[in-house]
Amino acid sequence: MELKRVVVTGIGALTPVGNSLSETWNNLVNGVSGADMITLFDATKFKTRFACEVKNFDPTQWMDRKEARKIDRFTQFALVASDQAMADAGLNKENINPDRVGVVFASGIGGLITFQNEVTEFAKGDGTPRFNPFFIPKMILDIAAGQISMRHNLRGPNFAVVSACASSTNAIIEAYNLLRLGKADIILTGGSEAVISEAGVGGFNAMKAMSERNDDPKTASRPYDKDRDGFVMGEGSGVLVLETLESALARGAKIYCEIAGGGATADAHHITAPHPDGLGAKNVMFAALDDAGMKPEDIDYINTHGTSTPLGDGAEAKAITDVFGEHAYNINISATKSMTGHCLGAAGVIEAIACIMSVVHNVVPPTINHFTDDPTLDPKLNFTFNKAQQRTVRAALSNTFGFGGHNAAVIVKKYPA
């Protein structure tokens, strides 16, 4: 069968560097760090006392107080980003066929804050079970997809995807596949995460995965820097409206770009560490290129997973040189986690948004906080350190990797192609 072409017609973004698409993109291009001391809980006794929080977020600006209390923070984020994306795409309940519009959404962890709070309150009591009746519906990570569908009356395919920090990239790929197979006309896809809490920070601290640069949080996320010491936790949500080209043209929709292809692989190596040779990362980039019918020379920008961990950054850089060969030195590479922090299950879609906007505006956002070259990295690679660069971006690739060895990559390209 002939596969349908798929385009992006709407974007919503709620991130540590902006509560809208325009604010997020402007701050990414200008190298603004979203890191600061944690305000969501008292972190004074924790090894890491800073994070990249969403700023000035008031859910009651988007929903009534009663509704907000019934859903976890990660679902609040998802609903706000979905509202933004629907509006941006010019969609509403009146101008869609609800049976042909779906939701494929992701989270790496889901309602961890709800889970922590409910169990903590139980432990304080006398053992009598007094749990909130919304405990389970608030916690389960598929609830964001369900809530989005109910909010906008979307009755097409609806499910959640989880693959740790690759989750929302996998969600984009699943939505893309459903659309090109003709299973729906429009799908809202992306991810949301909100785990800046005692359990979230404490758990990652115990793994020694996060930076402990408490004296200088804004420069703590240092992808590809010699002195990087771990990732900075972030939170937020991103939503893309993916649509068949046929549907978008029929309704005269604004088109940001085209989804070219995607790939998914596994390291099959370790529960948290990447394959030392970047094998899974290399294979997923090859898979994405193959799915898109593209050559390495067609890619102008790579938004890397680039978490600022000693092992991960090096493995990914090696994989890029293995996949792209000499062309790797013509590609702009950047790690926007240097600004947003690591938004875990929402990282993929937020970084895909950065790729989409780079294709639209021909600007590559920087990798900030670079101070000292890492002698183990190929010096000929262009990591777009500290300052955005103008260049024609015909196509961009976004990499995301997750605990468990999950790897996902998606490629976006200019429309018309």
DSSP collapsed to 3 states, 129-194: CCCCCCHHHHHCCCHHHHHHHHHHCCCCCEEEECECECHHHHHHHHHHHHHHCCCCCEEEEEEEEC
Average pLDDT over residues 351-367: 98
Q: Quick one: pLDDT at residue 417?
A: 61
Asked whether this chain's domains 7-250 and 263-413 adopt the same fold, the reply is yes
User: Full-prediction pTM beyond 0.85?
Assistant: yes
Q: What is the CATH number of domain 7-250?
A: 3.40.47.10
Q: Quick one: pLDDT at residue 368?
A: 98
Percent of the chain with pLDDT over 70: 100
| Of residues 46, 41, 199, the one with CA closest to residue 111 | 199
Burial class (CB in 10 A: 0-12, 13-18, 19+), 253: buried
Q: Quick one: pLDDT at residue 203?
A: 97
Q: Report whether pLDDT(356) > 80.
A: yes
Q: Quick one: pLDDT at residue 176?
A: 98
| Of residues 266, 251, 242, the one with CA closest to residue 178 | 242
User: What are the φ and ψ backbone dihedral angles of 330, each rounded to 5 degrees?
Assistant: -95, -5
Average pLDDT over residues 332-350: 98
**pLDDT class for 122, splitting at 50, 70, 90?**
very high
Q: What is the pLDDT of residues 266-319, one digit of tens each?
A: 989 999 888 888 899 999 999 999 999 999 999 999 999 999 999 899 999 999
| Of residues 102, 81, 105, the one with CA closest to residue 169 | 105
Residue whose pair of structure tokens reads 């649509």 in the numeric block: 243
Q: Quick one: pLDDT at residue 366?
A: 98
**Domain residue limits, the chain:** 7-250, 263-413
| Of residues 20, 111, 156, the one with CA closest to residue 345 | 111
Q: Report whether pLDDT(90) > 80.
A: yes
- Which residues are part of the catalytic machinery? 165, 305, 342
Q: What is the pLDDT of residues 363-398, one digit of tens each?
A: 999 999 999 999 999 999 999 999 999 999 999 999
- d(Cα 33, Cα 18) in Å, to the nearest integer? 11
The average confidence (pLDDT) of the chain is 97
Average pLDDT over residues 145-174: 98
Q: Quick one: pLDDT at residue 274?
A: 85
**Class of domain 263-413 (CATH, top level):** alpha beta
Do 85 and 10 form a contact (C-beta atoms < 8 A)?
yes
Q: What is the pLDDT of residues 165-214, one digit of tens each?
A: 999 999 999 999 999 999 999 999 999 999 999 999 999 999 999 999 99
Sign of CA dihedral 15, 17, 20, 21: negative
